Amino acid sequence: MKKLLWFLVKLAPVLYMGLIWTLSSFPSDAVVTFNVADTIIKESLHLIEFAILYVLLVLFFLVDGKLTKRINLSIALFACFYGLLDEIHQYFVPSRTSTVIDLIKDVTGVAICYWVVYRGYLLKKNTFGNFLASIEKLFSK
Give DSSP secondary structure letters for 18-50.
Answer: HHHHHHHHS-GGGS---HHHHHHHHHHHHHHHH
Residue 141: predicted pLDDT:
67
Residue 122: predicted pLDDT:
93
Mean pLDDT split into 10-residue runs, the chain, 141 residues: 93 97 79 66 85 98 95 98 95 88 95 97 91 91 67
Residue 94: predicted pLDDT:
86
Q: Domain map of the chain by residue range?
A: 2-140
Give CA torsion, residues 42, 43, 46, 48, to 10 deg.
-80
d(CA 113, CA 89): 24
Buried b (16+ CB within 10 A) or exposed e, 36-61: eeeeeeeeebbbbbbbbbbbbbbbbb
Cβ proximity of 139 and 2 under 8 Å? yes
Q: What pTM value is reported for the model? A: 0.89
